[in-house]
A and B are shown apart, each in its own frame.
Chain A
Amino acid sequence: MGGVHPHDNKLSADSAIEQFPIMDRVYISMSQHLGSPAQPVVQKGDYVKTGQLIATASGFISANIHSSVSGVVVSVEPYKDISGNTVTHIVIDVQGDEWESSIDRSEELKREINLTPAEIIKRIGDCGVVGLGGASFPTHVKLSPPPGKTAEFLIINGAECEPYITSDYRLMVESPEEILIGTKVMMKALGVKKAYIGIEENKPLAIEKLKSFNYPDIEIVTLAKKYPQGGEKQLIKAITSREVPSMGLPIDAGVVVQNCGTAFAVYEAVQKNKPLFENVVTITGDCTQQQRNFRIRVGTPIEKILDQVGRLPKDAAKLISGGPMMGKAVSNISASTVKSTSSLLVLTEQQTKRQPEGECIRCAKCVQVCPMGLEPYLLNKLARLGRNEDLESERVYDCIECGSCMFTCPANIALLDYIRMAKADVLKIMRSRPKK
C-alpha cells in the first residue's frame, strides 16, 4: 500500500568501501542507541585499546560502548550532538592502533557457529551491537522476544529504499557471506527455521552475490523499488503478507526484522569477537567533489570526514545524517559519528529550499501514498487545531514518519511536521492513562 518513487540517486554505488584514516582525537557519545545512555567506566588519563569496553549499558534497553581507537582518555564531558543537544562524550587522544587481543583480526571466514542461543545473545549484548537501520535499537533486546511470543521468521532488511545511501549495498556486494553467516547466527539465537533477505530490484549485483552461496534456509527476496519499502511494517507485508497490528511490534506478527548492516555486525561480534566500533558511512551529494563509502571509526568528527572528500562546495546548503527522506539535518558539524550513522548527505539550497505553503486542494495524493493507510491531510488539519481526541481516533499513532505525504504534496504543505508533533502529544496522553 502507498509509497512514493523518488529518484534513487545512488551516486556512490560503484565506490568500494575504504578504510577511513583514524583522526587525532575522537568523541564517543554515550547515547548511540535507543534507551538510556551508557555509563562510562573509564576516567580521564586512562589508556584504552581499540575495542575495549568504555561504557556499560544502564538498564534493560541500553547498549555497551567500546573504544574505537587506542589512546588516552582526555575527558568525560558533555558535548553537543548533531542536533545541538548535549550528551556525555568520552574524548580520546589517539596513540597508534593497538587492538584488544581477544579480537580475531584474521581475514578468514568463520562458518561454524559454536555458541548456544543464550551465549550468542549475551555476546551480541556484550559487543554493543545496535540496529543499524536508523533507530539504533539494541539488537540483543530485539533477539529476546518477550515471554509468550515466539518468532517464526527472521527478515534481513537490505532494501535501502532511501535515495543516495549505498552503505548497505556495498556491504552486501563486498561481504555477502558474512551477512549470510550473521543471519544464521541470529536464526540460531531466535530458534527460527526460515529467514528472508529483502532487497530492492535496483540492486541486481547484491541479489546475485547473495544468491551465489548455498544457504538453503535463507531466501533472497527481490522487492519492488519504492519508498518506504524498507520500513519494518512494509517489509513484513511485502515478504510474508502479514500485517503488524496497530500499536504492535513485528514480533506480534511472528517476525523479527534486522538490518543487513546489523547482520554484518552480529557476524563480527559473534564469530570474530569484534565489538561494534566502526561502520560503513556513505558520503555523498550531487554537489560534492567525490561520492564515496568509508568504514569509519565511531566518534570521528563530521567536519574531519567532510575535509577528506574535498572542501564543501559553495552551494552546499544542508548536511543530512541519513537519507534525504528520513535523515536528520546536522546543525552542528563539529559533532561526531555514532554507530548508526549510515550516510552524510550534502544538499544544495535548490534541493532543500522549502517552497511556500499553498492551500490543500483535496487531491488526496497524500492519502494514496501513505503506507500506513492514514489520511495525512486530515491529521495535519486536526494537529494544527490541537484536536487530540480526533487525532487518536484517526490513528495518528500509526504514522511511521516516512514523509511520503510531504514529498508528494503539490501544495508543499508541511504535513509531517505537524503530524509528528501531534503523534508525540497523543502518545504522551495515551501512555499517561491508567492501564486496564
Chain B
Amino acid sequence: MGTTLIFTIVVLTGLGVFLAVVLFIIAKKFNVQEDPRIDLVEAIMPGANCGGCGYAGCRAFAEACVKAGSLEGKFCPVGGNDVMMQVGEKLGVAVEQKAPMVAVVRCHGTCDNRPRTNFYDGTSSCKIMNSLYSGDTDCRFGCLGGGDCEKVCPFDAIKINPRTGLPEVDQDKCTACGACVRACPKNIIELRNKGPKNRRVYVSCMNKDKGVVAKKACSVACIGCRKCEKVCPFGAIKVEDNLSYIDFNKCKLCRKCIDECPTKAIWSVNFPVRVPKPQEVADEVSQVIEKEQ
C-alpha cells in the first residue's frame, strides 16, 4: 500500500518535471515575436467582435492598426471617438474624430398605414421573402418585417415591434456597426448622424414609385412632391426618383420640412414637445369663437 503510493507520487512528479522542461524548451525555441502593442490595443477595444470596422474582429482590427502605423480610414463604431483616442495615444498617432452614428429605419409602413394585400406564411426571413416576391403589401420598397436585422444585431439594439411589424432601434444600445444595414434586403436601414442631443430629422420612406401609386400603397409614403426641397433653407433636401432624402451633414434641424410634408413622411425624433405660448392659444381660441359666430 505504502510503496504503491510513494511509487505513484514519484512517477507523476518526475513526469511533470520532465514535461515542464520539454515545454519550456519548445516555448523558447519556437517563440513568435509579436508586437506587444497589439495586445495593448486589443485590451482597449470593446471586444464585441461585431465586424463593424470592416475587420474580422477586435484582434484583427488591433493588428491592422498597429501594422499600418496610422489610423487613417480605421474606426471602431462601437467604441467611438473615446476608444479611438485611447488607441491613438497608445500608438502615438493622430486620430480623426467622427460624429457618432445610429441606425435609422426608413420605413413607417405600419399595419394601419400600409394595408396588407396578401398573406405570407413561408419561412420568416426577409432575405428569402425578398427573393420570392415584392412583399405582403402594395409597397415594394418597404419593410418586410421578417426580422433579419433583429437576428444579426450583436447588441440587441434592434427589435421588431409586434404591434407595428416594424423594427425599432434602441439608440442607447445601437453602436452603428452596420450589421443590420448589410442584412436588410430592401436597404431601408441607414446609418445617420446621431445629431445634437440625439435629435434627428429624416424621411421615413424608401418608396420610389410615382406619388399616386405610393400614396395608394401606404398613407405615410413620400410622394416626391418636392415641397420639402423647396422649403429647406439649407439645401439639405434632394428629391430623386420620386423620393426625398435629407442630407444629415447639411440639415440644421429647423423642422420646416416637417410641417410642409403632406403625407407626414418626414420624422423628427427626440425634439421636446412644443408647448404653444399663451398668446397663441388665446389667438386660436378667439379664431374658433369667431368662426362659430
Q: CB-CB < 8 A to B118: which residues of A?
A: 331-332
Q: Tell me, in angstroms, the Cα distance from A228 to B25 when the chains sit together.
A: 64
Whether A116 sits at the interface, judged by CB under 8 Å, is: no
A347 to chain B, nearest CB (A): 12
Query: In chain A, what residue has the closest Cβ to B118?
Result: A331
Are B123 and A331 interface neighbours, CB within 8 A?
no
Segment of B45-53, B130-138, B251-259, B284-292 in the binding face: B130-138
User: Total A-B residue pairs with C-beta atoms closer than 8 Å?
Assistant: 44
Are A83 and B122 interface neighbours, CB within 8 A?
no
Segment of A2-10, A45-53, A269-277, A417-425 in the binding face: A417-425
What 0/1 readout, one digit per residue, does chain A (337-353) give for beta carbons within 8 Å of chain B? Answer: 00000000000000011
Query: In chain B, what residue has the closest Cβ to A319?
Result: B118
Q: Tell me, in angstroms, the Cα distance from A328 to B133 when the chains sit together.
A: 9
Are A331 and B131 interface neighbours, CB within 8 A?
no
Q: Tell me, in angstroms, the Cα distance from A340 to B132 when the chains sit together.
A: 18
A429 to chain B, nearest CB (A): 15
Whether B117 sits at the interface, judged by CB under 8 Å, is: yes
Are B123 and A329 interface neighbours, CB within 8 A?
no
Whether B35 sits at the interface, judged by CB under 8 Å, is: no
Are B121 and A353 interface neighbours, CB within 8 A?
yes
Are A417 and B123 interface neighbours, CB within 8 A?
yes
Query: In chain B, what residue has the closest Cβ to A420?
Result: B131
Q: CB-CB < 8 A to A328: which residues of B?
A: 132
Q: CB-CB < 8 A to A329: which residues of B?
A: 132-133
A37 to chain B, nearest CB (A): 17
Q: CB-CB < 8 A to B128: which residues of A?
A: 417-418, 420-421
Are A331 and B117 interface neighbours, CB within 8 A?
yes
Q: CB-CB < 8 A to A414: which residues of B?
A: 122-123
Q: Tell me, in angstroms, the Cα distance from A417 to B125 when the chains sit together.
A: 10
Query: In chain A, what residue has the closest Cβ to B133?
Result: A83
Q: CB-CB < 8 A to B138: which residues of A?
A: 84
Selected A-B contacts with CB under 8 Å, 25 pairs: A80-B134, A83-B132, A83-B133, A84-B133, A84-B135, A84-B138, A84-B140, A85-B134, A86-B209, A329-B132, A329-B133, A331-B117, A331-B118, A331-B133, A331-B134, A331-B136, A354-B121, A354-B122, A417-B122, A417-B123, A417-B128, A418-B123, A420-B131, A421-B125, A421-B131
CB-CB nearest 10 A-B residue pairs:
A84-B134, A83-B133, A417-B123, A414-B123, A331-B118, A417-B128, A331-B133, A85-B134, A354-B121, A84-B133
